[in-house]
């Protein structure tokens, strides 16, 4: 089999590398000439664990190549995947489909110039329900109907574990009306059939909506536990116990129940927004998802205030050390990261922010040039008035707390990911603020009352 993938970003590159690992011949196309030049030299333009080896071995085996020339890539392909970006459209929150439609047109024109077999045009980008039909209409204007089929094959991989997610997905969803498309996609995903991963065939519309419904549901789960965390703080309960206590219920499940600063990233915020807009147009409003977005936005804004309260109510003239800038660990992706809401608010309040992130700093520097970027975690906290843990990278999980206390000018740690146990921070003599957990209390001690921001301090 031979396929082309249009768009060589987080999804296109991982999908291309993984399909080539399945034994398929893959050409990855991108209009970003610099990206393609780097890939052709063996450089990986994004950080994704394991991707460098996978790309190197499949490129060396001759199964994976990179080009800016869409026409040559599409020639003779059994399937062409569209994996371009679908960001939020400025102003109204709809998905911006201009890249998808431009790619569809280019694919149609390329196929029209090269008479040949039938090609399956597959949308892997996350697109609102109805987009596949519009892609079909674009192609119909350029090509005779017996030259193409359209399909939707949404991608569920998570940045940071993208290869594992692609190779061992919970399920593959394929939406199409065409028997030929079903046959081609079934054989592309054959290695997953062999390891008994469920492959779900649906209509185009259902496949498109499954992706949005999945993201909206996960975002709802996170937002739900975040609100429960606020309640825990008010009543002296521990959100981690609640998460475990409800997560062990098979009907609920333990994943996506980690309280934190609010969800971010390149998918949940924009996909929830696009889904809400789609539902409005369809006159079937999604009040829950709409509320999730509003609650989450407010939460991210409130996090800066929490940090300020933990610093005694004022950060003007103070220095804050921040560890973690990306929206989650094991990625360099800064898109819609909570740090982009929280840190500018701290700067606005007069703080100096020293920051470190293992992979996200190049991108962060473009978006937040006012921060002081440091070389490692300990350098960041030197002389700071508080330490803020914003993203739970593994290397921040086992900090030497004696050293942390010695380096900080004021021993205050605000842990927005609940990486540490209140007891260990208390034992290290650090005032520790976390999310939805009561303070460590020695037998006989009187708990410190919740402060006005809802945080509990351990003296």
Ligand X SMILES: NC(=O)c1ccc[n+]([C@@H]2O[C@H](COP(=O)([O-])OP(=O)(O)OC[C@H]3O[C@@H](n4cnc5c(N)ncnc54)[C@H](O)[C@@H]3O)[C@@H](O)[C@H]2O)c1
User: What one-character-per-residue DSSP string does 60-103 give?
Assistant: HTTSEEEES-HHHHHTT-SEEEE----PBPTTT--B--HHHHHH
For the bound state, the minimum distance from the C-beta of residue 30 to ligand X, rounded and expressed in Å, comes to 4
18 catalytic residue (yes or no): no
For the bound state, the minimum distance from the C-beta of residue 423 to ligand X, rounded and expressed in Å, comes to 36
Two tokens, residue 137:
């209409």
| Contact letters for ligand X, residues 349-388 (x by CB under 6 A) | ----------------------------------------
Task: Give the separation between CA 77 and CA 26, rounded to whole angstroms.
Answer: 9
| Contact letters for ligand X, residues 301-340 (x by CB under 6 A) | ----------------------------------------
CB 245 within 8 A of CB 225: no
Q: Using CB under 6 A, which of 1, 102, 214, 453 touches ligand X? A: 102
Nearer to ligand X, 20 or 86 (CB): 86
Q: Using CB under 6 A, which of 86, 153, 273, 341 touches ligand X? A: 86
Q: Is 26 helix (H, G, I), strand (E, B) or coil?
A: strand
**Which residue's Cβ has the minimum distance to ligand X?**
9
For the bound state, the minimum distance from the C-beta of residue 178 to ligand X, rounded and expressed in Å, comes to 22
Secondary structure (H, E, C), 118-177: CEEEEECCCCCCCHHHHHHHHHHHHCCHHHEEEEECCCCCCCCCHHHHHHCCCCEEEECC
CB 225 within 8 A of CB 257: yes
Length of the chain: 459
CA angle 153/330/323 to nearest 5° reads 140
CA angle 452/352/297 to nearest 5° reads 50
Nearer to ligand X, 21 or 30 (CB): 30
Give the binding-site size for ligand X (rule: CB under 6 A).
Answer: 27
Nearer to ligand X, 127 or 384 (CB): 127
Nearer to ligand X, 28 or 377 (CB): 28
Task: Give the separation between CA 416 and CA 393, rounded to whole angstroms.
Answer: 12
Residue whose C-alpha is closest to residue 211's, from 254, 154, 161: 154
Residue whose C-alpha is closest to residue 211's, from 151, 288, 268, 155: 155
Bridge partners (DSSP) of residue 353 are: 320
Residue 333 exposure: Cα atoms within 13 Å on the Cβ side: 20
Nearer to ligand X, 141 or 251 (CB): 141
Contact between 10 and ligand X per CB under 6 A: yes
Give, as ranges, the residues between 224 and 283 that touch ligand X (CB under 6 A). Answer: 266-267
| Segment (H or E) for 387 | strand 386-389
| Contact letters for ligand X, residues 197-216 (x by CB under 6 A) | --------------------
CB 367 within 8 A of CB 309: no
Of 18, 267, 272, 374, the active-site residue reads: 267
| Contact letters for ligand X, residues 17-56 (x by CB under 6 A) | ------------xxxx--x---------------------
Contact between 289 and ligand X per CB under 6 A: no
Give, as ranges, the residues between 117 and 176 that touch ligand X (CB under 6 A). Answer: 125-126, 155, 157, 159
Contact between 99 and ligand X per CB under 6 A: yes
Task: Give the separation between CA 38 and CA 174, rounded to whole angstroms.
Answer: 32
Nearer to ligand X, 124 or 300 (CB): 124
Choose one: 7-15, 279-287, 293-301, 312-320; the region binding ligand X (CB under 6 A): 7-15
Nearer to ligand X, 69 or 372 (CB): 69
Choose one: 102-110, 321-329, 363-371, 419-427; the region binding ligand X (CB under 6 A): 102-110
Cite the active site residues.
Answer: 267
| Contact positions vs ligand X (CB under 6 A) | 6-12, 29-32, 35, 83-86, 99, 102-103, 106, 125-126, 155, 157, 159, 266-267
């Amino acid at each position: 089999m031979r396929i082309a993938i249009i768009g060589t970003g987080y999804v296109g590159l991982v999908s291309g590398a993984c399909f080539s690992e399945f034994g398929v011949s893959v050409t990855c196309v991108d209009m970003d000439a610099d990206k393609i030049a780097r890939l052709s030299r063996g450089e990986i333009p994004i950080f994704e664990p394991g991707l460098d080896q996978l790309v190197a071995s499949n490129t060396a085996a001759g199964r994976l190549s990179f080009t800016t020339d869409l026409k040559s890539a599409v020639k003779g392909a059994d399937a062409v995947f569209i994996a371009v970006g679908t960001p939020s459209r400025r102003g109204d929150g709809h998905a911006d489909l201009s890249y998808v439609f431009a790619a569809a047109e280019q694919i149609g024109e390329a196929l029209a110039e090269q008479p040949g077999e039938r090609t399956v045009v597959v949308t892997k980008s996350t697109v609102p329900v109805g987009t596949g039909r519009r892609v079909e209409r674009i192609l119909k204007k350029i090509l005779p109907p017996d030259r193409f089929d359209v399909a939707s094959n949404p991608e569920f991989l998570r940045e940071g574990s993208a290869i594992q997610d692609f190779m061992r997905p919970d399920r593959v969803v394929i939406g199409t009306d065409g028997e030929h498309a079903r046959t081609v996609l079934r054989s592309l995903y054959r290695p997953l059939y062999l390891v008994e991963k469920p492959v779900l065939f649906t209509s185009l519309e259902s496949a498109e909506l499954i992706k949005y419904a999945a993201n909206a549901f996960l975002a709802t789960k996170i937002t739900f536990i975040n609100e429960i965390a606020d309640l825990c703080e008010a009543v002296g309960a521990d959100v981690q116990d609640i998460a475990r206590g409800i997560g062990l219920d098979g009907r609920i499940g333990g994943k996506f129940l980690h309280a934190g600063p609010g969800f971010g990233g390149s998918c949940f915020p924009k996909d929830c927004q696009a889904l809400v807009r789609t539902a409005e147009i369809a006159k079937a409003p999604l009040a829950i998802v709409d509320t999730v977005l509003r609650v989450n936005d407010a939460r991210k804004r409130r996090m800066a205030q929490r940090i300020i309260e933990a610093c005694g109510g004022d950060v003007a003239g103070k220095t804050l050390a921040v560890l973690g800038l990306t929206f989650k660990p094991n990625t360099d992706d800064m898109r819609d990261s909570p740090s982009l809401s929280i840190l500018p608010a701290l700067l606005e309040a007069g703080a100096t922010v020293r920051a470190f992130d293992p992979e996200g700093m190049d991108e962060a520097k473009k978006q937040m040039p006012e921060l002081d970027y440091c070389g490692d975690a300990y350098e960041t906290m030197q002389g700071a008035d508080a330490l803020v843990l914003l993203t739970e990278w593994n290397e921040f999980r086992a900090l030497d707390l004696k050293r942390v206390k010695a380096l900080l000018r004021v021993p205050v740690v605000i842990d927005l990911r609940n990486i540490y146990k209140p007891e260990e921070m208390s034992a290290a003599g650090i005032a520790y603020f976390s999310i939805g957990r009561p303070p460590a209390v020695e037998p006989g001690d009187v708990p410190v009352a919740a402060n006005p921001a809802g945080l509990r301090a351990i003296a």
